[in-house]
Structure 1
């Protein structure tokens, strides 16, 4: 995924879902170290609800293409 798309997804998470920037950065680091996907890491850490997770998957899929 390009740096530009990661930036857009990060903005979505912080602005639309009101996640703290630090939490998003932690999830990104965990994604790289555990080879998990960002939406799953966000959910595993309790940073998003199931309904928010659906929105994250939609945005993630849109920017991953």
Structure 2
């Protein structure tokens, strides 16, 4: 997932670290945290969940 966020979504390491810190051990809420902090758009959030459906669920 981190590879996808960095390389496909082009998120900075700092943005990802903030999201990880705020989401704690629950990586399932990481996309929501990124969105709440304005680090991804709603369109990007949809792409992240599309990725989740293919690779996580």
TM-score interval for Structure 1 and Structure 2 normalised by the shorter chain: 0.7 to 0.9
The alignment covers a number of residue pairs equal to: 56
Q: What is the aligned-residue RMSD (CA, Å)?
A: 1.7
Q: Which blocks of at least 5 consecutive residues in structure 1 are unaligned?
A: 1-8
Q: TM-score, normalised by structure 1?
A: 0.72
Q: TM-score, normalised by structure 2?
A: 0.81
Q: Relative CO higher for 1 or 2, CA cutoff 8 Å, sep ≥ 6?
A: 1
Say yes or no: does 1:10 pair with 2:2: yes
**Which 4+ stretches in 1 moved above 4 angstroms?**
none
